[in-house]
Every structure is written in structure tokens, then in C-alpha cells.
A and B are shown apart, each in its own frame.
Chain A
């Protein structure tokens, strides 16, 4: 089945999310749509799958003009989409998730659906328990489930929106292998991504988007520099890594056991020193998130000792951690980090010492304006924080931190950010580390950890399985440790 998008426009008021985009997807190929955050890729996909109505333009399916106006209609034409945020039902079982939208009436035929799910999953090399509740699954497994559901619907065009965000290297390999298999079965696969490596590893053809327009097309083999040029116009320079000499210990966790995540945290011993950048690797929910929350005083450990500059810090909470110059930035920026509904300058007034009855609007406004220019935030002081893009939210969070924190804990600091924003974040953090702050961050991208971290700690199933200076480890050893193949210490 051939899909042609011709001269698609989508305007939100004065903003042109799509400005005359044309795209042809041939059957049996993997087609990449590459571009920075905000380039208009997701909007285009939402138009193709009927979530959003286009302002103007034509969609041709096998040469016939069609106006797809609902996801149900897209499904009817065998177009299915895997969304960046899992569009599933966490409270229900995997089998229920597999069945919703495909069954109706009174009798459910659970048995036949169960065997169908199992047969598709063995075909693709996935291992998935049909009875597992979905919120117990990893992000990767939830994607696998969604792909299997789409396949069971007999779709012929599979669209994947940033599918490698938040899944491990192993899961990515499994995913890519299954996508190649689907393409060779004659299905069209459309991969939407801001990650060059994914597109280059998988795609036959690439369309690059920038600021709502198509900025270039290329077929395999790809030229990296040319693709980067199409994406950014000018190339962003990657942060240069200067290994630091770690100073005195600041934060020490001894024999820590704590609940949370899928595996909790078991018997964890980690000491963080001044000026070092520590990368926490591991599958999502392997204990790194719990570690960061325990260290920040947000989760109480059930056993073990936390010391901050040789003073015990057990159970005294996040406010105490903050008083000592620590800071924590969670992965979910809008849910845990910022307050949606408050403006940028209101965030700065919250950040000030609250010792007066009336809000001091002026100082906060000045502070906001200063930070907006210093941190290059694209927004105005009166703008709702929730209306900022992901990269700008991260900049705002960083600008709200104390000027020189002693310890900075970050959970997936560059998740969902494009290359340019990600590099900006790291140059900023490296400058802070150079002035003596300890930076501890978790990331699902091993490449990122290897690029910036002085020291890498690998978590598996709630335990630390590897703790090594980054320059002494290679991608293979780390990758194996992440997947559980390390010799326990």
C-alpha cells in the first residue's frame, strides 16, 4: 500500500506546525522522518492517523484521495501508530490491552485472543506474560504489546513515534529486528525520530524536517554530516569531555535497601565525590530511580546509612537535602519538577525565600528575565510553564537551581530533548562540575553516559552490578551489564 501526503498544512493560530509537507511511503520499506523536537514530525503523523485535522493538503492512499478524520478510519485503512507516550491501559492486563478495540458484543473469546497473542509474540521473539498487569511492564514491553496489537489488526502501515525513548539497548535490538522482519513481509514502516543513529541503522529512505518544512531527503547509504546539516542548518558542537579529578566524598550511601520501582534497591553502597560526573545505567526501573530518590531524601530507606559531608542524613527529607546544597531534577518535568498552571516568573517567586506576606513580583520578574536570557529559554516571564517545549522546561528547571549546588541529582536529564538542547544541557552541567559540584544522572542511553560521565554505575534488578571509571569500560561490557550479564560484585 502506497501512501502519499501532498502539500500538508497545519496551522495553530499563527504557528505553522506543518507548512507544505509532502511525503511518499512505498510498501515494503522503512521510511525515516528525522528532525529536531518541534520540527513538526508528530503533527504530520497525527494528521496521517486521524488524530488531528489538517488545515489543507491531500492524503492519497494507493492513488485515491482520502480524508482520514478519526483513528478508527485510519485503522480501517490499515494504518496503525505506536505513540511516544504509550497509549495503553496500565491498570488492565496485557491480554485486555491486546483485546480492547478489537472485540465487541457479549462473548469475548479470550482463549483465542490469548493464543493469538502468544503466537505473534513467539513469531517476533518477544517474551510477554498475557496476564501481567501493564503497569508492571517496562516501557519496551509496553511497546512490544502495542506493536503486536497493531499487527493483529492486520495493519499494513506501521508508524512509530520516537520508539527508542526509554528502552534499553537490548530491547532496541529486538525492536529493530522485528521492524526489519515486518518490512520484508511487505508492510510499510514509518520511523519518526530525532535520533540519527536509529534512522541510520534501520531506514531505507529518510525525509528530514525542519521548522514545519521538509528540509531534505536521502536514501541509504546515508551521509551523517549531510543529514545533520539538513536537521539543524548549522551543526551543534558536542560537549567535550574533560575527566575531572574527584575531590572529597560528599554523599555516601551505605548498605541501603529501599522499596520502589519494579525491583526496589538492595544493599546499595555508593560514594559520590566532589566534582565528578556519575552516570547511572540500567534498564528502566532497575533501581537507579530509587537510588536518586533515596539520595535526595524523597524516599526513606528501610535499611542502611546515608551521610552528607560525614553527617547522617537518614529520614530527614528533601528539604534537609536542599538546605545542604543538594538538588534533584526528576524525569517527569511537568509532573514532579514544575508546576503546570504557574508562569515562569511565578516559579521564580516560589523559589525565593518566603518571608513576606505579599509576593514580590518585581524581583521575581527580573530574575525570570535574567534567567531567560542566560539560559536561552524560549518563552516570556508570563508564560505557563506547561506551555514550554521539553527542552525549554529542562532549561527552566536548571535555571531554578541554586547557583552552585554541592550535589545535583538528575533523572534522564536529556530524555526527549533534541541534540542541540541535549548538548546545551551537558555543557551547562559540565561547567557546574568544573566548579566542584557533583553531578549524578541516570540515562537510558549508554552513549550519553559514555560521552559525559567520569564514572559509570550499572544497576540491574535493584542492585549495583558494576561501578567503574568510564574510560576503563567499553560499550559491550556495559551493555552486557545492563542486560544482567555482569558478574555480581
Chain B
């Protein structure tokens, strides 16, 4: 009864993390360009509903996923447009859109609640699936899960290895300087709010067409958007670190399910809620580590810690690697004179 099949559990983590991971990657891209899209939570619901309804009516998963991505991209575009061209607050627009899209999803989706619809099924990748242990964890999933895995690498590569990614980051760091170098900051922000939104939309579709198939109220995706927003910060605006956070969160959720079976006397709500304070606790440790690593001067010697505490430094360094600074111009759009 107390045994866990590790590979099944880890495969569950990989699959369960897919939607939140996709949303986190999308938001990382958007925020790296300097736009905060706070509408994630509602956007995920609206795109989940759209995906289900479109796939149900057309019997096409591809159309379902595409429609959801379009919805997500459109909402990202609205946030960026209001900020860049109309000078409105990204935070205010994002909040209003969160509430609006959530209610819209429930309202428009109500005729489709509790229906049985199409679903993206897992398929194994030949050859790779036969690698012992790893094969069963990584290579027998549905398409959106593979997409989320590939997304980590693609995002990292695009942001840090291509000139287009460099331009993207320059806009988020200092749009005025980017403008001085002939880059159009507003256009870049619009484009990457759209790209980020597409991924958020795919996250919604991944819920209603794969991870928690179907539509209802509640759908089961509620709260994911807020977690994704926290994970972007937790991941220091870095796709690989953000992915680490997403998997940690999914792991905590799955452990909760297992614990429920082992400790039936504890109310189930405890396990459902536990991952959230645990994430906050982890964030605290990370930010503490960041403060500690800030005090390491370039020479490598800490000024603030007397000798004798050296034993903890490797831990500090390790945690220091997990942290990063926000793009300097996040949330502050730039308008040329």
C-alpha cells in the first residue's frame, strides 16, 4: 500500500505539469519583453472552453488547439496594445481581462458542460520509449505534453542564443536604448505578448483536451494562471528555471494525491491546498538565498559573513543559480517623443 511506482509517478508529474508549464513559458516570453499579462487565469479558462467547444463541434483536435491558441494570443495582444499604444496600466487591464474572460468562459461554455468530447491520447515514441526508466517517464505522452517539454528548450534557445531573442530581452531591459539602436520596442512588445498568449492559450487547450478532459464549472484549471505568474518570478524569468518550478509544483500536487491514500484521517482539503503554501515557502528560501548571494563580492569572498560559515556557501551558490532579476523595464512601456 505504501509503495509507489516511481516511473509512473514521475510520468504523472511530467503530464500534469504540461499546462502550467506552457503558460509559464508563454508569460516568461511576454515579461522578458517588458509586458505583464495578468489575465492568465481567465485566459486559460476561456481558451480551455474554446478548445473543447471547437473540438467537440468539428471533431478536430487540431482546430481545437489552434482556436485556443488564437484566443490566448488575442488577449495577450489586447494587454500589450492598451499599454503600448493607449498608455493604459497593464496591471489594471490584466485584472479586468482575468475577471471578464473567466465569466465569459463559464457563460459561453455552459451548454457544453459535462459532455463527452474528443481527447488528445498519449502515444509512445518508438525506440526512445524503450530506454529503461527514462523511456516510460518522458516518451509515452500526448502531443501537448511533448510540446511543453520541447517548449522549455525552444524558449531557452530563442531567448539566449538568437539575435531575435537578444532584441526581445533588450526591449524588456531598456526600451529607450533599444529604440536608440533602431529596434521598435512597441512592435516587439506586441509581437511577444501575442506569442506568449498563444502558449497560454495552448495551456488552456491542454487542460480541456488532454490533462483534465471536458468542460464544466469548475473545470479544474482555476488558479493555474496565478501559479504560472508566480512561477515566472520563481524562475527568475528564465525558461529552464521556471520549468523546474512547474515540475516542483506538479510534484507537490501528485504527492498530495498519494498522501491522501496513506493518511485517510487528514481532510482531503489539506492536500489540495498544501502545494500553494509550500510554493510560497520555497519562494522565501530562494529570495533569502538571493540576498545572501548578493553579498558575495566579485572576488568571491563574502564580506558579511565571518570565516567559519564557509560550509554553507555551496548551498548559497546553488540557490543563487536559481534566482534572477526581473527585466528592468517590466511593466513600463516606452513612447518615443
Q: Which residues of A contact B (CB under 8 A)?
A: 46, 51-53, 70-72, 75, 81, 83, 87-92, 96, 99-108, 136, 257-259, 262-264, 302
Contacts and interface: CB of A to CB of B under 8 A. Distances in A.
B119 interface: no
A302 B295 CA distance: 11
A259 B166 contact: no
A105 B298 contact: no
Given A88-B174, A90-B328, A91-B173, A51 B161 contact: no
Interface stretch (B39-47, B66-74, B180-188, B278-286): B180-188
Contacts of B189: none
B132 interface: no
Interface string B163-177: 110110110011011
A51 B181 CA distance: 11
Given A51-B337, A103-B163, A106-B162, A258 B303 contact: yes
B184 to A, nearest CB: 8
A136 B296 CA distance: 13
Q: How large is the interface on B (under 10, 10 to 19, 20 to 34, 35 or more residues)?
A: 20 to 34
Contacts of B162: 105-108
A100 B166 contact: yes
A259 B163 contact: no
Given A75-B182, A87-B177, A100-B170, A108 B161 contact: yes
B218 to A, nearest CB: 40
A257 B295 CA distance: 13
A145 to B, nearest CB: 12
Give the dominant DSSP class at A's interface: loop
Interface of B: 161-164, 166-167, 169-170, 173-174, 176-183, 295, 297-298, 303-304, 325, 327-328, 336-337
Contacts of B166: 92, 96, 99-100, 103, 108
Given A71-B179, A103-B163, 16 more contacts: A87-B177, A88-B174, A89-B169, A89-B170, A91-B328, A92-B169, A92-B170, A100-B167, A100-B178, A100-B183, A101-B183, A104-B163, A104-B164, A106-B164, A107-B163, A262-B298
A263 B298 CA distance: 8
21 contacts: A46-B337, A70-B179, A72-B181, A75-B181, A75-B182, A88-B174, A88-B177, A89-B173, A91-B328, A100-B167, A100-B170, A101-B170, A103-B163, A104-B163, A104-B164, A105-B164, A106-B163, A108-B161, A136-B298, A258-B303, A259-B297
A100 B170 CA distance: 7
Contacts of B174: 87-90
Nearest to B176: A87
Which of A88, A100, A102 has the most C-beta atoms of chain B within 10 angstroms of its own C-beta?
A100
A182 to B, nearest CB: 20
Which of B178, B179, B303, B337 has the most C-beta atoms of chain A within 10 angstroms of its own C-beta?
B303
The 10 closest A-B pairs by CB, nearest first: A101-B181, A72-B182, A103-B163, A87-B177, A259-B303, A89-B173, A100-B170, A71-B180, A52-B337, A108-B163
A92 B173 CA distance: 9
A70 B179 CA distance: 8
B154 to A, nearest CB: 12
B298 A257 contact: no
Contacts of A89: 169-170, 173-174, 177
Contacts of A70: 179, 182, 336
A53 B180 CA distance: 14
A87 B176 CA distance: 7
B183 to A, nearest CB: 6
A73 B328 CA distance: 26
Which of A75, A101, A102 has the most C-beta atoms of chain B within 10 angstroms of its own C-beta?
A101
B304 to A, nearest CB: 5
